[in-house]
Amino acid sequence: MPAKTDEIQFILDNQIVKIGFNHPDSIKPTTTLLNYLRSLDGHKGVKEGCAEGDCGACTVVVAENDGRRNLSFKSVDSCLVFLPMIHGKWVITVENLAVKNGGEIRLHPVQEAMVETNGTQCGYCTPGIIMSLFALFKTHKNPDVDTIEDALTGNLCRCTGYRSIIEAARGACQNGGSDRFDEMESSVWEMMESINTIETLVLNVSGQQYFKPFSMEEALRIRNAHPDALMINGSTDAALLQTKKQVFLPKILDLSGVNELKMIVEDHARIVFGSGISLEDVRNFCQTRLPVLYDILNVFGSLQIRNLATLGGNIGSASPIGDTLPVLMALDAKLRLLGTGKQRELLLEDFIEGYRKTNIQDDEIIALIIIPKPVEGEIVKSYKISKRRDLDISSVSACYKIKANPDSLVERISIFYGGVAATTKRAVLTEQFLTGKPWNRPTIETAMEVLATEFHPISDARADASSRTIMAKNLLLKFWSETCPEILDNQK
């Protein structure tokens, strides 16, 4: 069993920062990176707006080893990051971008571009926008407009407007990402390698326990010993319990340091994701390999959130509006659950048992998500309806998978909805009705009425019950209208 340490270390301001958690007056393990930075002199550029990942005013960039001896730069909402999550990483804030030499200040290229395009007015949102542009600068050469807009989706601005900011991004990124941070990488690597990321962190202060293992073996041991610990990875959901609901979290098992959970394996028949893979990495991988999952992740949160959130976390939260769940269920995804000396597999559809309730046992961790690839002739499409396109929670989401025979009769069909019940819901009666029927307008119109009898949605801030029923029916009609030409062509 590896030794334990009660201290975290990370890089900030070009030096290693150490924080101990062995004294009652210490910072809590669940202190957010945002609140820690704002407690320091010289780091007030990070702003608190919403404290729930919606506004981007608190955006910072975190650099870490990507597993291939390269530094990966990612923009994140610091209000969602607990301090132990940055152990062994490099934190970059807006104060770190410009170079101060005596009385002269040399701005970073993204800062110069914002000045040149008049991309800022009041300035409150500007530090977060600058950090999103800095991450873009470090990861993309000459990005297109879609990439730029995606990088800015998580940053709200009420006064400047985005045209000038987009122009700033275009101008800055023509540099190809070359800046003084490239020259710092060798010294940063030396500091990173001096920080121990093998020994399990056990932080125990002020009635709060925080466990951060760095191997699957240690994670399973802690899970077995502390089944009551809240499991987190990206913490984009769990952090809101503290920041918005002021819930005290007495015991946490942080899986974000377990690299075995961050793998991707593909063969001719399936794609296997580790549960700790970020949603942004899933999105990028699926663009050409599994477009239906790519499409739904394109309208999932913001880049800052997708850089933190994990596929396993989105599943484990068992939210009725978890956007990946209808897609994964329609694809017949399975989970591999690991426990102490055991493992088992079950369909994701059987894993979700109720509102925020799953089939997971006290000693188990979601290890793998196994997704069969659609076979020839299957059509799969996903949809999401929300009040705005980007960075919004679903009112209703849906995924459909259909296989028709040469006579355009429905051979098999899968229909799953989010937002219409306490869990992601399968439209069993509608599937039964459609099977064997011709894929035409009269059939779909009747199926829409069958569908309306299957769900009893609630009314809330995102939609009322009757609207959700209409949305569910119309999405089925939309799926038919988009797939009918392809199915008829196959008949020829």
Local structure of 362: helix, strand or coil: coil
Beta carbons of 21 and 36 less than 8 angstroms apart: no
Per DSSP, 58 falls in state T
- The answer to whether residue 383 scores a pLDDT higher than 70 is yes
pLDDT level of residue 355 (50, 70, 90 thresholds): very high
CA distances for 154 relative to 50, 181, 281, 391, angstroms: 12, 24, 17, 7
How many whole angstroms separate alpha carbon 88 and alpha carbon 111? 27
Instruction: State the Cα angle at 489 between 401 and 480, rounded to 5°.
Output: 40
Give the bridge partners for 209, in sequence order. 204, 251
Per DSSP, 32 falls in state B
Axis-axis angle for helices 126-139, 145-152 (nearest 10)? 140
Amino acid at 91: V
- The answer to whether residue 1 scores a pLDDT higher than 80 is no
When pLDDT is averaged across residues 401-420 and rounded to a whole number, the result is 96
* Cβ neighbours, 10 Å, residue 428: 10
Residue 148: in which H helix or E strand, if any? helix 145-152
Locate tokens 């607990």: which residue?
Answer: 82
Task: Give 212's Cβ-side CA count (13 Å radius).
Answer: 27
- The answer to whether residue 491 scores a pLDDT higher than 80 is no
Residues written for the chain? 492
pLDDT number for residue 2: 58
How many whole angstroms separate alpha carbon 338 and alpha carbon 341? 8
Dihedral of CA atoms 276, 279, 285, 290 in degrees, nearest 10, equals 110
**For residue 200, what are its two tokens?**
């399990």
When pLDDT is averaged across residues 174-180 and rounded to a whole number, the result is 79
pLDDT number for residue 289: 96
- In 3D space, the residue among 429, 430, 400, 431 whose CA is nearest the CA of residue 416 turns out to be 400
**For residue 385, what are its two tokens?**
């309806």
Q: 5-35: string of b/e by CB count within 10 Å (b at 16+)? A: bbebbbbbeeeeeebebeeeeebbbbbbbbb
First to last CA, the chain: 64
- Encode pLDDT of 34-66 as tens digits: 999 999 999 999 999 999 999 999 999 999 988
Q: Where are the beta strands (DSSP E) in 136-190?
A: none
Domain 32-81+89-194: top CATH class = mainly alpha
Q: Where do the structural domains in the chain lie, given as residue ranges?
A: 32-81+89-194, 263-491
Q: Do the domains 32-81+89-194 and 263-491 sit in the same CATH topology, yes or no?
A: no
* Right CATH for 263-491 from 3.20.20.30, 3.60.15.10, 3.10.510.20, 3.30.465.10: 3.30.465.10
How many whole angstroms separate alpha carbon 55 and alpha carbon 59? 9
**For residue 183, what are its two tokens?**
């020259």
How many secondary structure helices (H) and strands (E) does the chain include? Answer: 17, 23
- Encode pLDDT of 117-164 as tens digits: 999 888 899 999 999 999 999 999 999 999 999 999 999 987 777 899
